Structure formats: structure tokens, C-alpha cells
Chains A and B, each alone.
Chain A
Amino acid sequence: MSDTQAIETTGSVSEREISDENHTRAIELEQKVRVLCWVMTGPKYLSSRAQHVRSTWARHCNMVLFMSSEADPDFPTVGLNVTEGRDQLYWKTIRAFQHIHRHHLHQADWFLKADDDTYVVLENLRYLLAKHDRDDPIYFGRRFHPFVRQGYMSGGAGYVLSREAVRRFVEAFQTGRCTHSSPIEDLALGRCMEAVRVKVGDSRDEQKRETFHAFPPEIHVVRKTSPKRSWQLSYDYYPTKEGPECCSDLAISFHYVPPDLMYELEYYTYHLRAYGYKYRFDPELEAIRSASGDT
């Protein structure tokens, strides 16, 4: 396989353009919870989509790899032994994880897969993952069902595997425990995860609000239901909420995000704010509350 074409983004948080703030906690987490992001893309989407991923949220990953059918040393992208096409998505996923397993397994604790039209907030992903062990066989994302008893993760909303989960996935293809059973990437991967006993994690926040989202914010956040969404509602594993309860303050991902919206989300997440505003949701306080409630 080709040598590493990863984009190192070390020290990214401290160079961030945000001034006038204390981001020690974010820096701590960045060092403690290392995330390798891999972005599913292709040669014809590099300038129209992938480059905007590279300019926005990918900078917040500890390391990012752009997976394509062709290697491009300038972008850079990793060339996988596949062809382009919707029916090749699972092959791309398998090859991508095999590449990561061979070259980068020990460079990160968690491994995120995203599309080139997914927007991810890495800090909020790390906050979720910090509560778990990377050597635990577990993975997180937007939980869907039926088809897989324990549920499976939406491909577009992005999903993240622990190091142990990646190991089991790749080894399953070596032993034949898992095969290319279907071109539907997220479903097939979910089936394999169940077969090798990788657990499905609950990615909801302390108030049971979803963090990974399979659609852009506008679809989730606006209160009224539109009939178009009924098919989507039936996939959600947890009861779907729309309006303000749809989405955690510490949202992790949105999907079907075109380039303009990517910068807009970056602006909303990291720049635009209400000065002095005391947020209603205090994650640390909520964690203490829910912990004391359990015992």
C-alpha cells in the first residue's frame, strides 16, 4: 500500500482564529482523545466538496485522510483499490479501514468516517468519546433500525469506531467472518459490527438529545413536520424529536451540507455568539446530575 498521505493537524486548537477565550479544556481533550478522521470522497468531488471539508472542520481532527479511488499527492488523497460509484461505497469503506489498520492504527484512539458533505464538530465528538475507553469494542453515530437487531449507524451522519472496533472489523475480513455482503455501506458495516460483537453506543447527550444528525440543521430544528420526512422518522432508533429538542447544544454532525453551509456552520459554531450569554445547557452540571440519579 502507498505510504501515508495523512494531513497532520497537530496544535490546531491553539492556532485557532478565536480570540478572547480560554480553550484549555478543548486543548486537553485534543491531546487525550486522538481522532483520526477519514473522509469518503472521489476525484470529481475534490474541488467542489472535499476542499471545503479540508478548509473547515477537518482542521480540528488530530489527523485527516481523504479517501478516493485515485491517489492525488497534491490534495492529498489516498488511492484505494476501488472504482467510483454508489455501489462501491462499502468496498471503499472496507479498503479505507484496511489502509488505516495497516498504517495508522496506533496514531489515534478513535476513527471517524464522514462523507464529503458531512459537517462535524470535533470538540463535541471528543467530549462524547472521553467518557469511553478506546480499547472497548464500541462505535457511535446516528443510531438507526431495523435490519440490525442492535441497530446500526447512519453512514451520512458519520460514525466513529474505537481502536478495538477497527481491529475487529479488519480482522473479520481476513478471517472471512465478514464479507462484502451488500453495497449499502452503513447497513453492511452495522451487520459486521454485530457479528464481531462490537457494541452500539448511545451518542445522545445528558438530556437525551441526539448529537449525530442525518440531515442539515434546518430539517431538524424547525418545529413543524413535513410529510416528506416520514420515511426518515421510521429509521431512528430512539424516538425522533423535532424542533428545539432535536439537537444537542453539543451537536457532533450534520449531513447533506453543501460548501456554503459548511462555512456557515463553522461561523455559527466557532465564531458568531451572543456576548455574555449564559447557556441553559451546562454539560458538566448535567453529568453530575445524571450520575447521582443513577446511584
Chain B
Amino acid sequence: MAPSSQAWAGARRRFGPALSVLAQRALTNVYASAHQSEAQSLSLHCRLFRCQALPPSLIRSDTDEKRCLNIELRTVYIVGLAEWCVSLKMLSEGTSFVKGMVLGGLFCLVVSLIGNFSLGGQPSVELHLHHHLKAPSKEELQQLPEAHRLELSQKVRVYCAIMVQPKVLLYWATAKDTWSKHCDRAVFYTSESAKALEAVDLQEKDEWAKLRKALQHAHDNAGDLRWFFVARPTTFAIIENLKYLVLNKDPNQPFYIGHALKSGELEYVEFESGIVLSLEALRRLLAIFRDEDKCPERGRAIWKLSEEKQLAICLKYTGVFAENGEDSQGKGLFNSKGANALISESLAHNPPDVIEGCCSDMAITFSGMTPNQMHVMMYGVYRLRPYGHNFHDSLMFRPPEGSDND
């Protein structure tokens, strides 16, 4: 570990537990009367303070750890002073009203000034805890014994829930003929049935309600599959690379992975580039579906949020947060654009290496491609290759039965 990480780890060990407790208590005191949702989001912040309690997958770098501690110290400082301010005010009131007001006011002024003061001379850190979930490195995998690796190949199994409608029939057919064959189970969920293609007809026009029903159905029919991939047929997914990403992650822990975006305070996974849920995340989600206040079925009345955001809000209530799926070099694995579009963009910037500036070798999803381009990608991923370049992968996945284009 680098020296700086050691220092942070040491500080956290010594001060961490005490600070966490103090911070929590202070927050409860001062903000007890606040609006319920605000309190809840604060209690979520509380949870975030307890960095040790976060699953290791959520702490991916020094930066995350430092932010954790910074927030702890800063908030405690402010909150501690705020408490003092309040209690002093109460004391002053005992002697004379005016004096008390002035004294209290002065202290609260001091507190707000200190609130803007950053600790340790570092710039004021925005409460932005962006979670990165990285694929295992070659070294990590090689450390596992071979028998364990083969076992993992068989154990990591994915249930694909593909949300279709007759309006996108050609994409639906393309997904069925291409990438979905590599899911351990692929189920198409439609709003109304189409004669040509088989699907579970949810008879639901509202997108959010449709997604909820699909997820319930997926959970009930998953068998022993523990990972869930939700996508539209306009997305192309390489399921083997998805399996690689989650290979050493426990599906009995909550995982909610994809291309993570931020909207105000809400961090959510973009639907168009595919959403990955572990079994535990799905279980928690289905449980909170029953809470009409937190996670209403007919959408939030005042403004209609997209399904991806509603999903993120519901999951957040259960303590599950969006994570950005990345390769070992930090390149995003879930793409909201097609390979062609990303290459063109890279080319336009005229970099020394167009492909290096574009996309990961282990990309999981691309979106926005035409059906023909998806057929080309199918050929490009599962067949086209240069003779004599062999990989010694730690896992092995067999081609699916009854398929001729892979």
C-alpha cells in the first residue's frame, strides 16, 4: 500500500468509529425535525461515513477513502459546533434575551464560516461518491486455483430480460438471432404480443410498470441463475465479458452496475447501455416495490421520471447504489453508442492511437447500432480473428447450441 493510503487507513482506524458515532448522534439531534426524505438521505450519508462497513467492492481507490474521511471530519466539526451553538443559545437565554440572541447569533455565524472552511487545506469536496466497479485483473484471476476458476465459469450465469415491443420488431428479431443466444436464459418481455416472435406478454403500456412486472417475473423464474441483465433490443451485449466483470463478485451482495450517470444528487445506471443486477439487489428491489410511498408503481405524480431514474431511487432506499462498470484500466465497459460512432468520434480527435482512444477490448455493451451492424458485430466478436494470436483465458465458455452465426 502506498504511504498515503496507510496514513488514511490509520486515521480511519483510530478516529473512524468514534467519529461515525458522534456524527450520527449529532445529525439525529439537529435534524430530527427535518422532512422525512431529507432525513433518509442524511441517514444514507451516515451509512456512507462508515467506510469500513462498505463492501470492499465500493472502495476502489485512495480517493474514495479520503473522501469518506473528509466528509466524516468536516461534518462532525460543523455539527459539533452547531450543537454547541444551540446549547449556548439556550444558556444565554437564561440571563437576558437580547444578550442571548447576540451571543447565539455570533456563534452560529462562526459555525457557518467554519462550515466553508476546508480541512487539511484541501479544496472543498463535493459529496460525489462515484462508485467504480472494475473487472478483475489477470493477476487476480491467476491467483485462484484452476479448479476454482472452472467452477466459476459454470457458476456465473446470467438471466437476460429484454424489454421489447412490436414497434421495434426488427431489433427484437436481431437480438433474438444474435447476442441473446449467449445468455444462460433470455426472456423477452413485451407490452403486446407479436405473432412472429415469442415473448412474455405483460399487457402493460406504462414503461415503469412493465419493467416492475418483468423484474418480478425474472426473479420468480430465475431458477439458480444469480445475475440479471436488463436491456432493450437496441443494445448489443457480450455476455461473456459481463460474466468476466462479475466473476469474483458475490451475487448475494447487492450490485447495480452499468454506465453510471448523475442527475443532480441521483446516481443511476443508464438503461440504454444495459443494467446489471445481482440476485440480492433484485430481491431488495422487489421488496421495496411493495412500498407505495417510496417506490410507487404508477410513477411520481408531479413529474414523470424515466424508468432508469425511478429504478435508481427505489434501489437507493434499499441501500443499493449505481456502480460504473470499467475494465482494469478504467475504461467504461457499458457504451451508450455503437462501436462505429465511438470510432468516428475518436478519429475526429486525431489521436495517435484511434482504437486506444475509443473502446475497451472487453467491452460489454454497445447501443444505437442498426440491425445489420449488430450482425457484423456478432461476426466480429465471435468469429473474426487473426490466426496465431491465442489467449490463455482463465475461464472457458462454450458456443450455444443451435446457433450458426457464432
Q: In whole angstroms, what is the CA distance A29 to B387 when docked?
A: 10
Q: Is the CB of A272 within 8 A of B389?
A: no
Q: Are the CB atoms of A280 and B359 closer together than 8 Å?
A: no
Interface contact B388-A28, CB-CB below 8 Å: yes
Q: Is A123 a contact of B389 with CB atoms below 8 Å?
A: yes
With an 8 A cutoff between CB atoms, is A187 at the interface? no
- Complex CA gap A25/B372 in Å reads 33
Q: How far is the CB of A133 from chain B (nearest CB, A)?
A: 19
A244, B359: Cβ atoms closer than 8 Å: no
Query: Are B356 and A17 interface neighbours, CB within 8 A?
Result: yes
Contact with A along B330-361 (1 / 0, CB 8 A): 00000000011001101100000111101101
Chain B residues with CB under 8 A of A259: 347
Which residues of the other chain, A, contact B390 by a CB distance below 8 angstroms? Answer: 21-23, 25
**A244 and B387 form a contact (CB under 8 A):** no
Distance (whole angstroms) from the CB of B25 to the closest CB of chain A:
48
Asked whether any CB of chain A lies closer than 8 Å to the CB of B17, the reply is no
Taken together as a complex, chains A and B put the C-alpha atoms of A273 and B381 apart, in Å, by: 5
Q: Is the CB of A26 within 8 A of B389?
A: yes
B318-334 contact mask (Cβ, 8 Å, vs A): 1 or 0: 00000000000000000
Whether A275 contacts B383 by the Cβ 8 Å rule is: no
Which of the 9-residue segments B58-66, B214-222, B265-273, B397-405 touches chain A?
A: B397-405
Instruction: Give the distance in Å from the alpha carbon of A250 to the alpha carbon of B363 in the complex.
Output: 22
Interface string of B371-394 (1 = CB under 8 A from A): 011011111111111111111111
Scoring B355, B383, B384, B404 by chain A CB atoms within 10 A of each residue's CB, the highest score goes to: B384
Answer whether residue A147 sits at the interface, using C-beta atoms and an 8 A cutoff.
no
Of A18, A244, A247, A260, which is within 8 A of B404 by CB? A244
A249 interfacial by beta-carbon distance below 8 Å? yes
Q: Chain B 235-260 against A: per-residue CB contact (8 Å), 1 yes, 0 no?
A: 00011110110000000000000000
Q: Which of chain B's residues have a CB closer than 8 A to the CB of A43?
A: none
The answer, among A26, A123, A218, A243, for a CB contact under 8 Å with B376, is A218
Interface centre among A23, A263, A278 (most CB of B within 10 A): A263
Q: Which residues of A contact B243 (CB under 8 A)?
A: 275-276
A124 neighbours in B (Cβ, 8 Å): 386-387
B183 at interface by CB-CB < 8 Å: no
User: B73 near A: Cβ within 8 Å?
Assistant: no
Interface residue tally for chain B (C-beta within 8 Å): 54
> With a CB–CB cut-off of 8 A, which chain A residues contact B372?
218, 222
Contact A269 B354 (CB under 8 A): no
Residue on B nearest A217 in the bound complex, by CB: B376
Instruction: Indicate the member of A18, A21, A269, A273 with the most B CB atoms within 10 Å.
Output: A273
Q: Which residues of A contact B138 (CB under 8 A)?
A: 20
Task: Return the chain A residue nearest B355 by Cβ.
Answer: A267
Q: Are B388 and A127 in contact (CB under 8 A)?
A: yes
Give bound CA distance, A281 to B375, whole Å.
18
Scoring A residues 30 to 66 as 1 if CB is less than 8 Å from chain B, else 0, what string do you get? Answer: 0000000000000000000000000100000000000
A126 touches B376 (CB 8 A): no
Inter-chain CA distance A277–B378, complex, in Å, is: 13
Number of interface residues, chain A, beta carbon within 8 A: 54
Interface hub of B138, B243, B359, B387 (most chain A Cβ within 10 A)? B387
Residue from A27, A222, A278 in contact with B396 in the complex, judged by beta carbons closer than 8 Å: A278
CB of B384 within 8 A of CB of A263, answer no
Decide yes or no: A276 and B379 within 8 Å by CB, A23-B388, A123-B388, A264-B340 being known contacts. Answer: no
Other-chain contact of B361, A25, A26, A249, A271 (Cβ < 8 Å): A271
In angstroms, Cα B239 to Cα A281, docked, is 20
Q: A277 near B399 (CB under 8 angstroms)? A: yes
- Residue of chain A at shortest CB distance from B344: A260
Could you give, for residues 112-123 of chain A, a 1 whenever the CB lies within 8 Å of some chain B CB and a 0 otherwise?
A: 000000000111
B240 touches A276 (CB 8 A): yes
In the complex, A221 has a CB within 8 A of chain B: yes
With contacts A218-B372, A260-B344, A280-B406 taken as known, whether A275 is within 8 angstroms of B379 at the C-beta atoms is: no
A23-B389 contact in complex given A244-B404, A276-B240, C-beta closer than 8 Å: yes
Chain B residue with Cβ nearest A251: B384
Tell me whether B385 and A269 are in contact (CB under 8 A): yes
Could you tell me if A269 and B392 are in contact, using CB atoms closer than 8 angstroms? no
Question: Which residues from chain A contact B52 at a C-beta distance below 8 Å?
Answer: none
| B386 and A218 contacting across the interface, CB-CB below 8 Å | no
Q: Which of A18, A127, A276 contacts B153 (CB 8 A)?
A: A276
CB of A263 within 8 A of CB of B397, answer no
A283 within 8 A of B: yes
Closest residue of chain A to B363 (Cβ to Cβ) is: A272
Contact partner, A267, options B358, B362, B383, B406, Cβ 8 Å: B358
- Taking the closest CB of chain A, its distance from the CB of B329, in whole angstroms, is 10
Q: Which residues of A contact B380 (CB under 8 A)?
A: 217, 265, 267-269, 272
Q: In whole angstroms, what is the CA distance A278 to B391 when docked?
A: 10
Tell whether, in the assembled complex, residue A123 and residue B339 are in contact, meaning their CB atoms are under 8 Å apart: no
Known: A18-B389, A260-B344, A267-B355. A218 touches B375 (CB 8 A): yes
A279 touches B387 (CB 8 A): no
Task: Give complex CA distance A271, B241 in Å.
Answer: 13
Cβ of A70 within 8 Å of any chain B Cβ, yes or no, is no
State the Cβ distance, B246 to closest chain A Cβ, in Å. Answer: 12
Asked if residues B405 and A244 are in contact (CB atoms below 8 Å), the reply is yes
B residues less than 8 Å from A123 (CB atoms): 386-389
Question: Can you name 21 A-B residue pairings with CB atoms under 8 Å?
Answer: A17-B353, A20-B391, A25-B389, A123-B388, A123-B389, A218-B375, A221-B379, A244-B379, A263-B354, A264-B340, A268-B339, A268-B379, A268-B381, A272-B381, A273-B361, A275-B241, A275-B362, A277-B382, A277-B397, A278-B399, A279-B399
B residues within 8 Å of A by Cβ?
138, 153, 182, 238-241, 243-244, 339-340, 343-344, 346-347, 353-356, 358-359, 361-363, 372-373, 375-399, 404-406
